[in-house]
A = this chain, B = another copy of it.
Amino acid sequence: MSSVPLQDFDADQLAQFHEDIKRAFEDLKSKNLKLDLTRGKPSSEQLDFADDLLALPGKGEYLAADGTDVRNYGGLNGIEDIRSIWAELMGIPVEQVLAGDASSLNIMFDVISWSYIFGNCDSTQPWSKEETVKWICPVPGYDRHFSITERFGFEMITVPMKEDGPDMDAVAELVKDPQVKGMWVVPVFSNPTGYTVSAEVAQRLAEMETAAPDFRVVWDNAYAVHTLTEDFPEVIDIVSLGEQAGNPNRFWAFTSTSKITLAGAGVSFFITSADNRAWYTNYAGIRGIGPNKVNQLAHARYFGDAEGVRAVMRKHAASLAPKFEKVLEILDNRLAEYGVAKWTVPTGGYFISLDVVDGTASRVAELAKEAGIALTGAGSSFPLHNDPNNRNLRLAPSLPPVEELEIAMDGVATCVLLAAAEHYAS
């Protein structure tokens, strides 16, 4: 791009540009839009892929492969019918995999909560007895993760999320502090950057020495198979990596079918070591009698096997890829020449991370709101919603149809440009 970046415009050029873009923004407002780019929700088209599931397991169908009547009480680990499909899909031993209710976020909250109240299986005391609990948060990251550690009052320490994963030099330094008890990471097609943890970074996470014996990595593999291309990412058997490195209980790994079948009614998976599983079920068995096995059987029948899961994911890719392309095309066409933004180009997942001119992200969100376009609040990908540079926005292209998405993103581009013009003019 040989064009002049906005920040190098002279005063007259900038005034003219500001005038033009203000008019474009007024036009935008006059359209009275009501569009939503806030959350990574699947679209109706995607949810329709699982239509058969709404009638499964089907009348008279209630026996798991091992003869368990899934309708009755019991079975804290979930049924092997669905656990074995996930083990095959992720190339891990079936024993590692527990199948739960719909939400893996629920289990993440619970394991942190129970570590806080009771201590985990490597704790010398409950985390609530520590003077401070510190938690490593790669940024930008997933807002709901940060909300959990915020609620428990943990001190959240950010490290950069790089293209190959969390900045490991920073992490390795931080875990020398025994009060650092854990970290969040979305290892594949990370929310919101789309970055994927490399084998090297995974190995360093598994091997690194931590001062806290009960340190845990919440390895939230929410987008493990959520490709936007023909290729599926290699799944790292992170629990076995930890075991081989002499840190068998380091990883609490999670995934779910939320963005494979039904966002609010899928099956969650908790993948971890034998000791962590025994610790977990010891509390889960007090909290209740077991997960919804009928839904697990329905899912097992729906998929059939691991290839059945991949077949569904190809449909999602076909639905989502044009939306991501459209967003990237608009960002390119409208913003690139002015040097007012940078964005990630993910090959999977649900988000695009957009960095605008420093100091203007909240203004962009405000302008978009004025124009009837809901964006995730500026700063939401940072602990306490505190983006120190006020520059990051998370774009979620999945929910709207592509025609609406085009209108919304064109509007967002206008807002980015207007906020930048205001910034440089002031």
Contacts and interface: CB of A to CB of B under 8 A. Distances in A.
Interface of A: 39, 41-42, 44, 47, 50-52, 54-62, 69-75, 101-103, 105-106, 109-110, 113, 116-118, 128, 144, 147-148, 151-152, 258, 262-265, 283, 286-295
B41 A73 contact: yes
Contacts of A264: 70-75, 289-294
Contact of A54 (B44, B60, B263, B265): B60
Those 7 A-B pairs whose CB atoms lie nearest each other, nearest first = A265-B294, A109-B287, A71-B262, A103-B288, A47-B71, A106-B288, A265-B292
Contacts of A109: 286-288
21 contacts: A41-B73, A47-B72, A54-B56, A54-B61, A54-B294, A55-B59, A71-B264, A73-B258, A73-B264, A102-B292, A103-B289, A105-B289, A116-B117, A117-B117, A144-B289, A151-B286, A264-B291, A264-B294, A265-B293, A292-B292, A295-B295
A265 B71 contact: yes
B293 A72 contact: no
Interface centre among A51, A58, A71, by most chain B C-beta atoms within 10 angstroms, is A71
A69 B51 CA distance: 13
A257 B144 CA distance: 30
B57 A62 contact: no
A101 B289 CA distance: 13
Contacts of A60: 51, 54
A71 B59 contact: no
A113 B106 contact: no
Contacts of A144: 286, 289
Nearest to A47: B71
Contacts of A294: 54, 262, 264-265
A59 B287 CA distance: 33
Contacts of A128: 117, 128
A292 B295 contact: yes
Contacts of A73: 39, 41, 258, 263-264
A258 B60 CA distance: 18
A117 B287 CA distance: 16
Contacts of A147: 286
Given A54-B57, A113-B113, A117-B117, A42 B292 contact: no
Contacts of A110: 287
Contacts of A62: 47, 54
A107 to B, nearest CB: 9
A405 to B, nearest CB: 17
Given A54-B59, A113-B117, A72 B263 contact: yes
A61 to B, nearest CB: 6
A147 B72 CA distance: 21
B117 A265 contact: no
Given A51-B60, A262-B294, 19 more contacts: A41-B72, A42-B72, A47-B71, A54-B57, A54-B60, A54-B71, A55-B58, A55-B59, A71-B264, A72-B262, A72-B263, A73-B258, A101-B102, A116-B117, A117-B117, A117-B128, A118-B151, A264-B291, A265-B295
Contacts of A44: 69
A75 B148 CA distance: 19
Nearest to A265: B294
A421 to B, nearest CB: 36
Contacts of A52: 59
Contacts of A262: 71-72, 294
B295 A105 contact: no
A16 to B, nearest CB: 44
A147 B285 CA distance: 10
